Amino acid sequence: MLPKVAIVTDSMANLPRELVEQYGIAIVPISIYFQGRVYRDWVDITPAEAYELVMQDPEHFTTSPASPSDYLEAYREASQRAKNVLCITISSRLSTGYEMASAAKEQAQTELPEVSVDVFDSQLVLAAQGFVALAAARAAEKGGSLDWVIKVAESVRERANFVVLLDTMRYVYRTGRIPKVAARIASMLNIRPILSMSGGLVHFAGAVRNREHGINRILRITRDKVGNGKVHIAVMHAYASEEAEKLRKRVSSEFDCAELWITEFSPVMGYATGTGTVGLAFYHD
């Protein structure tokens, strides 16, 4: 039986390919530009391959958000599977994704009049956003109505978050929010910031002087937020697969996981944080 609702999200949700395929989630890719070529994030290029380009020539690596036509193409694809489409976007306070998806919704009303498209602001990013999309897709797979799928997405949105440990401050000037000289000084002092999410924005959640302390800190923050019950956790990394596997083993031994998987940060984020970044996205049952 075909689902009543098809789910669309963007590549910043950092969903592993196997979960995307399992639940039929349509992914709208961010565009990556490198030395005159255009790559679609997670489509034409893997995050690991993109990080290799960054390290090769960072001055000629840029990205741009998805356009309304990109979202419209995803709606067309999703409409082949269901007459209701729910697009779950990156936080509207971080990106134009919500606006682009909404513009595409207006276009879809003309081109796909038999399809109902709703746009949902996850108020999150990274695999925390991915968990919202994944929960919605699972509800849709069980035959849930559009209203029910939206309620599931809202419920997970209220509980989902992430905590990320940067390995260096050296590259954060690329976000445009911190001067280059300040980033370099912080890097020289071995300051490793910890980031989390609140009110739809990424914010500073602390800092450590070495990686071991940082890993312990993000595990404590996660425990404080999820408690002792069952928890859904994604281990995220930027070109640091061995570190991610070590972190996954610790999470597995220290938490009661309803699900636990590893994924790579979209290079859109990793470009500004640098390789070696690791983190956890999570929500409690």
Most confident range (mean pLDDT) of 138-147, 202-211, 265-274 is 138-147
Cα gap 284→8, rounded to integer Å? 23
Domain architecture of the chain: domains with CATH: 5-30+65-158 (3.40.50.10440), 161-284 (3.30.1180.10)
Kindly list the distances between the CA atom of residue 239 and the CA atoms of 8, 18, 63, 98, 252, in Å, as whole numbers in the listed order: 26, 19, 18, 28, 21
- The residues near 98 (Cβ < 8 Å, ≥ 6 apart) are 89, 90, 91, 92, 119, 121
Tell me: the pLDDT tens digits for 254-271? 999 999 999 999 888 777
On the CB side of 279, CA atoms within 13 Å amount to: 31
Nearest CA-CA partner of 200 in 94, 101, 129: 94
pLDDT at 183: 47
Nearest CA-CA partner of 27 in 110, 103, 137: 137
Does pLDDT of 83 surpass 60?
yes
**In 10 A of CB 205, how many CB atoms?**
17
Q: Is the dihedral of CA 183, 186, 190, 196 positive or negative?
A: negative
Kindly list the distances between the CA atom of residue 223 and the CA atoms of 38, 153, 233, 240, in Å, as whole numbers in the listed order: 40, 22, 11, 23
- The residues near 37 (Cβ < 8 Å, ≥ 6 apart) are none
Does pLDDT of 142 surpass 90?
yes
Residue carrying the six token digits 């938490």:
255
pLDDT at 273: 77
Residue 10, both tokens: 């963007």
Is-above-0.85 flag for pTM?
yes
Tell me: the pLDDT tens digits for 147-173? 999 999 999 999 999 999 998 666 554
Does pLDDT of 185 surpass 70?
no
> What ranges in the chain are assigned the alpha helix state H?
17-23, 47-56, 68-79, 97-111, 126-141, 146-159, 180-188, 211-226, 241-254, 267-273
Own/partner contacts of 118-121, CB < 8 Å, gap of 24 or more, are 118/84, 118/85, 118/86, 118/87, 118/146, 118/150, 119/87, 119/89, 120/86, 120/87, 120/88, 120/89, 120/150, 120/153, 121/89, 121/91, 121/92, 121/200
The edge-to-edge listing of strands for the beta sheet with 257-264 is 201-208, 192-198, 161-165, 278-284, 231-237, 257-264
Looking at every residue in the chain, the average pLDDT score rounds to 91
